[in-house]
Structure 1
Amino acid sequence: MKLIKAIFIGVILLGIVVISGFFIWLAPVGAGYSAKIMCSAIFVDGLTSSRARKEDVLADNNPLLSLITTNVDLRNQIVSAHAFGFRKRLAVYRPHLGCVLTDDTDQITRLRNSTPLITPIAAKPLMTGPLPMDVERRALNGLLADAMDEPGPTPTRRTRALVVLHQGKVIAERYDDGISANTPLPGWSMTKSVFNALLGRMQFEGMVGDISDPVLINEWQAETNDPRATITYDNLLHMSSGLAFDESYTNPLSDVVQMLFIKPAAAGFAVSKSLDNLPGSVFAYNSGTTNILSAAIRNLSGSRDVYQKRPTELLFRPLGIDNAVIETDQDGYFIASSFMHATARDWAKIGQLFLQDGVWDGERLLPEGWVDYSTTPAPAAPNGTYGAHWWLDLPGGGGGNDDSHSNQSRKTPQVPEDAFFALGHDGQSISVIPSKELVVVRLGLTRDRDAFDLRQFIANLSQLFPTVDPNAVKQTDGENQDTKPAE
């Protein structure tokens, strides 16, 4: 009887611990994730409330997220989320800056009053172009159809958009129901590659010095002999800052999850991390490094208003990207690691800029040598898989939800050796293949790693196209003459 009583008490205590843990640690994460993802999907991407919750939040029936209640205020453009009324989280939409999380309704007015005034951008639509004569349209269409199809009765692949550029022109594109060429979609960690381009633009314009210089982070410079003050822009771009950081999306208490969905200051949280290794000595992919880069760009920009206009004025305006959004934390710092939204065509423009060696419409936007630097293996990266905020290889199979693609070697089927990639959570990708004059964008919600094999898709697609001298491709300027805008 005493043993049974002890077991019963033990079970009760364990239940109390589990329930307490849920409300103290897990519920705020689930509520923050649900509110933020739904807010962005509805007010930035233009999806319906029901679709945003069913697909973007609950695609795999996550048991934690299914306990979260969400409410959408369409009039005030706010999404609230909570677990049984506990730890309510709010996500507030703002023009030009997308959605931001807050726990305090009193902050909503302040957050909305801090949005920058941005002059509208004249869009430069990509043009359509013909297939090369020796490329079979039926074979290309078959690959695209397969990428859009589902491998089983339950959706797992969830491809939302595909765009293929050849010689800078749209030769094929496909979209899921309710998604169009004008629908912004999240790129997750592809945002990191965009901030590579932004830093390159700033260096080209004389706004930042050499990338081997120490990063301008006030907190590090203020402390005497702080070893973090030796971290350089090069260390950050190569993911070898030496800072401690847990990049695990499956752990609700990991650094990356806390930074994105709990901490009010994503950049401040990343900056506060301690040094585990000598800068430059160890490759450790983590999202904190790009948010530190974002903080450095803020410090270099002087004012918050100037800083928040940097992506628009330096990058989006020259490329004619007219509705891209990079979201911020509560302090107004861009969450450069994860939260940019753009149409598939506009993501393709980022890839095309790099395919053309940083030249667009005959104008150089990135410093000479910047693309070569970005696509040269980082000294500490295993097997040469990572450059400077661009991946140099794809995983051996699957385009699932983990964008920390280290320790992958080239396997069959073969992807062209000169290809490089921007990759993101849920299977987002920009594939740049200079020797084939191709840029391929794939966006979706692929949380099952085995549902979509990006490596095989890119290998099969690239094999349809003739090989050219990549050095000749760099001489093109990206102008699209004598063709019509893609429809």
Structure 2
Amino acid sequence: MKASLLLCFGLSLLLSCSSSDSEPNIPNTPENSTVYFPPVNSNTWVTTDPTELNWNENELSNLMTFLEEKNTKSFIMLYNGKIAVGWYMNGHSESSPWYWASAGKTLTTALAAIAQDNGTININNKVSDYLGTAWTSAPLEKENLITCKNLLSMDSGLDDSLGDDVSPENLQYIADAGTRWAYHNVYVKMQDVISQASGQTWPNYFNTNLRDVIGMSGNWIPLNDLSVYWSNTRSMARFGLLILANGQWEETQIIPETFLNDATNTSQDINEAYGYLWWLNGKSSFHLPQSQFEFPGELIPNAPNDMFAALGKNDQKIYVVPSKNLVVIRMGEAADDENFALSTFDNDLWERINAVID
């Protein structure tokens, strides 16, 4: 049944566009302007008037109505770092926390980049170098094929049909690492790698090296078999801005630009539309969670080709568009039906965003 639903979803996307040739993402360089960064120790954030950007006021009103009807709680659009749109609705406020779901996977990518840059880890090393052997139930020779990069690329080769639990008995071999892409919670072992290698707890390492450095709020909260990040919407926007600015915050390079470039381009040979836990637009095909189907065409046809995104369950979104100097954030309940990451809402939302900004 799940495969049938995924196939229907993929076909619905295909009907809205024709396939395009794969092309590399445009380098993450905001064009012809200086990026603004909000102060780290203040809630102050400079705004910019959408009318001064020549955005369509009538379509802005339509966009707000659409978002409210689609169970949105908060929506932010940054232009060159300044808030052009900041809306809170359906009982949410600027200070209200909400969960990132799988959009928070990209926080793990950011910390992997930082840990590699300071010599704590090397993503090309096998996971067992940090966690020891038998962290999976795979035969040793198969387990030793799995590198940290495989965790970031979602091609560990471990069985993704056994649920979110990442205890060894639930991490079973299904294919050699690098030969099968599957959206799988095993990526969280990357957090264990960083914790073991640094000698710090994951939350402490995260807070010290990222959260507090760029002025985010929020915490990792255990939920069933997951650790989920919760924060207010502006904190999510701060992270998106860091990525738009090539990993730099003011004068400090926090995420190495070369690593970020690798993270936001195709990371393996199976799913063109996936980097290191980032989803990529503008490719010639894509895979969906819980499916081995390959769908031709772009991930989000209405979005700019160079857009890449952090996508979380029930439509938690971070869209980064270097060519338009944009970061777009959406938090809330599922817009339509419950989903794992990508949904038809992405394409519908970008149709309305385009009507505003084009």
How does the TM-score come out when normalised to structure 1? 0.57
Match of 1:218 in 2: 132
Distance 1:411 1:309, change over 3 A: closer
Gaps of at least 5 residues in structure 1 are 1-120, 150-156, 247-253, 260-266, 395-401, 467-487
2:153 to 213, 219, 238: 238
Match of 2:210 in 1: 315
Q: Which residue identity is paired with 1:178?
A: G
Q: Which residue identity is paired with 1:439?
A: V
**Residues 424-481 of structure 1: per-residue CA shift (max 9 Å, x gap):** 1111111111111111111111163399722121243145436xxxxxxxxxxxxxxx
1:188 to 101, 110, 119: 101
Distance 1:418 1:229 in 2: 35
Query: Structure with the greater relative contact order (CA < 8 A, sep ≥ 6): 1 or 2?
Result: 2
1:170 pairs with 2:83? yes
Q: Which residue identity is paired with 1:311?
A: F
Distance 2:305 2:76 in 1: 21
Match of 2:219 in 1: 325
Distance 1:295 1:133, change over 3 A: closer
Q: Is the 8 A contact 2:72 2:90 kept in 1?
A: no
Q: Is the 8 A contact 2:77 2:329 kept in 1?
A: yes
CA positional deviation for 1:301: 2.2
| SS across alignment from 2:352 | helix
Distance 1:208 1:411 in 2: 32
Match of 1:352 in 2: 241
Match of 1:73 in 2: none
1:126 pairs with 2:23? no
Distance 1:325 1:444, change over 3 A: same
CA positional deviation for 1:230: 2.6
Match of 2:230 in 1: 341
1:284 to 182, 186, 194: 182
**Residues 225-270 of structure 1: per-residue CA shift (max 9 Å, x gap):** 4421231111111100011121xxxxxxx512xx2xxxxxxx435x
Match of 1:461 in 2: 353
Match of 2:167 in 1: 268
Distance 1:412 1:182, change over 3 A: closer
CA positional deviation for 1:353: 1.1
How does the TM-score come out when normalised to structure 2? 0.76
Percent identical residues: 23
2:67 to 133, 140, 147: 147
2:193 to 280, 288, 296: 296
Q: Which residue identity is paired with 1:299?
A: Q
Distance 1:159 1:221 in 2: 39
Distance 1:328 1:297, change over 3 A: farther
Count of residues in correspondence between the two structures: 305
Match of 1:435 in 2: 323
Q: How does 1:334-413 map to 2 (within 5 A)?
A: 335-336=226-227, 339-382=228-271, 384-393=272-281, 407-408=294-295, 409-410=297-298
Structure 1 consecutive aligned stretches of length 4 or more whose deviation exceeds 6 Å: 221-224
**Residues 340-371 of structure 1: per-residue CA shift (max 9 Å, x gap):** 11111111112111111101112100112122
Distance 1:329 1:461, change over 3 A: closer
**Residues 58-110 of structure 1: per-residue CA shift (max 9 Å, x gap):** xxxxxxxxxxxxxxxxxxxxxxxxxxxxxxxxxxxxxxxxxxxxxxxxxxxxx
Distance 1:464 1:177, change over 3 A: closer
Q: Is the 8 A contact 1:385 1:407 kept in 2?
A: no
Gaps of at least 5 residues in structure 2 are 1-39, 283-287
Distance 1:188 1:417 in 2: 24
| SS across alignment from 2:275 | coil
CA positional deviation for 1:313: 0.5
CA positional deviation for 1:165: 0.7
Distance 1:447 1:138 in 2: 22
| SS across alignment from 1:426 | coil
| SS across alignment from 2:347 | helix
CA positional deviation for 1:178: 2.5
